[in-house]
Amino acid sequence: MHVQHLSSSLRHIIHIDADAFFASVEQGFVPLLRKNPVIVGGTENQRGVVHTASYDARKKGVRTGMPLKQAKKLVPDATFLKGNFEHYKAVSTVLQNIYYQYTPLVELTSLDDAYLDLTGTLSLHEKSLVEISREIQKQVAAAVNMTVSCGIGTTKLLARLASGQNKPNGITYVRSGTELEFLHPLPVEELPGIGRMAKEKLHQIGVFTIGDLRSVPRMVLMQHFGMNGKKFWELANSIDGREVKQRILPKQISRETGFEEDVSDLDLVFEVLHYLTERLGKKLREQGLTGQTVSVKVDYSDHKRYVKARSLAEATDCTDVIFRLVSQLVDETPFRRLRVRRVGLTVSKIDRKDWQGELFTEQSRREALESTIDEIRQRFGFTAVLPASLVNLQKHYRMEKSGYVLHAPALTQ
Amino acid sequence: MSYEEIDEPIAVITFFEQGKLHPLRFRWKGQVYRIKKVNGFWSVQDGLSRKYHFSVSANAPDCFELTFDTADFNWQLARVYLEG
């Protein structure tokens, strides 16, 4: 503990979280939208869930993940939008450029939040951390018409938890020496890694706040949660040595989509998974990444979910290799006598592609083919070249140059 | 708020600076609109060309979405957002 406090007091980290990002971006682009609550996730008659709601909609009870129809009942005068990934990407780039004015050590964790490590650069600015945060907020408001909340702390955990305390447009500073005092009353599920299952388990043993968690011996937590227990104990005691890294590899890349109506046509389910594999393979190659573990997810009409995952012998960025594994996983999926609501796939164990492939093998021929397809798609649009089996999807989805317009395009890139 | 898809060619006075383009005024159906503020911009790759979109407020209560296509250097009025 003593050593941790010595080292953590030397770090100055700001976590910046854009407030109701998707909704704020839309309101910033079209100021007329500010007159009514905005809900992003789909049109009001569409099935699907709320992805982001503006704060005035949240005040009326709308939450992320709530069915759109329920949100419509709560806020009948809301404007419902499908969302546009290009809008969010553009605004995210503007935000990043602002952050880099203050430090080169910026870790972009998603489109709408980032960590800034000012440990080495603070003295250059001749301003306090709070002043810098305020300046960033002003710059963001001027550039993109939206607000961000800032959390300042000596670790990433503290900065992240702090940014959520005073939303929207707030600044929360957890000063060195007050870390435990700050953490103590917060609900235990605020800690990273504590999901629904872990939260229930902790509640069963009488742990509701981070303060409660601190009082549980580390060994007891390890008995319940294995190595995660050790991590929980350390975080509850404000021990967090994670550094702000300039560019991190994503842990996983996912593509998923829901159906406008639940479907029983398994050929359609398979074709959509094939299409998602094509998108995912393109993304891997664009980013110069490979993945090794593939998982397929099927959500049924009774809201139960089936997930099956398997690892490849070697990491790959080859759509064909990934799709063969996806096909195997789908073949092994015990399709129930229920309709399917949603499908998705995820590639994990992501790494950089920094190895030389073998020459004159089937694999190298595949790679050459995919590289050519990527080039054609770059020039003429994604749908310029598609596997023949995917042409049938035109019966169900509108085809644009950039791809099929799937359900909830904000989420399906 | 509602919007109408227009997709009509328009004439735009544009200012280029440091690799960025700033639309200043546009003429649509004989009327000139002075752009008061660019509320946002984004771009979309459309095959080989890139389309730049600008969401702007002009001297009217309404907002407009303009697009500039690098394939033919033409401007279009894509949408008009209307109050009510």
CATH number of the domain encompassing residue A334: 3.30.1490.100
Identity of the residue in A33, A36, A86 whose CB atom sits nearest the CB atom of B44: A86
Q: Are residues A208 and A314 in the same domain?
A: no
- The torsion region of residue A273 among left (phi > 0), alpha (psi -120 to 50) and beta comes to alpha
Verify that A285 and A396 share a domain, yes or no.
yes
Query: What is d(CA A269, CA A272) in angstroms, rounded to the nearest whole number?
Result: 5
Any domain includes A199: yes
Domain count, chain A: 3
Instruction: State how far the alpha carbon of A220 is from the alpha carbons of A213, A227, B33, in Å.
Output: 11, 11, 69
Q: Is residue A2 part of a domain?
A: no
**Is A283 in a helix, a strand, or coil?**
helix
Q: pLDDT digit string (tens) for A190-222?
A: 999 898 889 999 999 899 999 999 999 999 999
- Domain range for B76: 2-82
Q: Note whether A302 and A277 are same-domain residues.
A: yes
**Shortest Cα–Cα distance, B30 to chain A (Å):** 24
Q: Map tokens 């004159």 to a residue.
A: A360
Q: Tell whether A302 is covered by a domain.
A: yes
Identify whether A11 is part of a domain.
no
Same domain, A326 and A387: yes
The ipTM, to two decimals, is 0.91
Asked whether the beta carbons of residue A25 and residue B40 sit closer than 8 angstroms, the reply is yes
pLDDT range class, residue A11, cuts 50, 70, 90? very high
**Domain final residue, candidates A69, A84, A99:** A84
How deeply is A72 buried, as exposed, middle or buried, from its count of CB atoms within 10 A (0-12, 13-18, 19+)? middle
Residues A198 and A333 in one domain: no
Residue A179 lies in a domain: no
Which residue of chain B has the CA closest to A88?
B42
A226 and A364 assigned to the same domain: no
Q: Using one digit for the tens of pLDDT, what is the confidence trace for A303-356?
A: 888 899 999 998 999 999 999 999 999 888 877 778 888 899 999 999 988 766
For residue A6, being part of any structural domain is answered with no
Tokens read off for A250: 């994503």
Can you give the residue range of the structural domain that contains A215?
Answer: 184-236
In a domain, A203, yes or no: yes
Q: A150 lies in a domain? A: no
Q: What are phi and psi of A105, to 5 degrees?
A: -90, 80
CA distance B62 to chain A (A): 8
The answer for residues whose C-beta is within 8 angstroms of residue A85's C-beta and 6 or more apart is A409, A410, A413
The 10s digit of each residue's pLDDT in A65-121 is 888 889 999 999 999 998 888 899 999 999 999 999 999 999 998 899 999 999 999
**Alpha-carbon gap, residue A222 to A234, rounded angstroms:** 11
Number of domains in chain B: 1
